[in-house]
Amino acid sequence: MIRFLSDNLYILRMAMFMSEESVIGRRYTLVIPKAVREELTLKQGQRVLIRVEGRRIVIEPLPWDPYEVMEEVVGEPYEEGREEVKAEEWLKSRAGR
């Protein structure tokens, strides 16, 4: 059998990532295996982002509190009232252009 370097890289890549098998059920439901749920600390009701990359399906868990993520990115806490006022002022300043 002829083996290529790319074969070894593929095997190594698959070993680096957790892989579990699942079956597409009725109404196209997919059960995320317990080991994967525990590894990613997924909870019932958590939202996920599903996208297609080439011939792959990628399921990415979304954070429970998007405002907490925004706070980490922006560097200051999100306060809905304050941000709403800023948004209204911004819209008014550009409305008559």
pLDDT tens, position by position, 20-72 = 889 999 999 999 999 989 988 898 888 899 999 999 999 999 877 767 767 77
Residue pair 24/30 in contact by the 8 Å Cβ criterion: yes
| Residue 8: pLDDT band with limits 50, 70, 90 | low
Closest CA to 48 of 57, 80, 34: 57
Which pLDDT score, from 0 to 100, does residue 13 have? 62
Whether residue 84 is predicted with pLDDT greater than 80 in this model: the reply is yes
Class of domain 20-61: mainly beta
Compute the distance between CA of residue 3 and CA of residue 37 in angstroms, rounded to an integer.
35
Domain ranges of the chain: 20-61, 66-95
Which pLDDT score, from 0 to 100, does residue 28 have? 95
pLDDT tens, position by position, 88-97 = 888 888 886 6
Which pLDDT score, from 0 to 100, does residue 4 have? 55
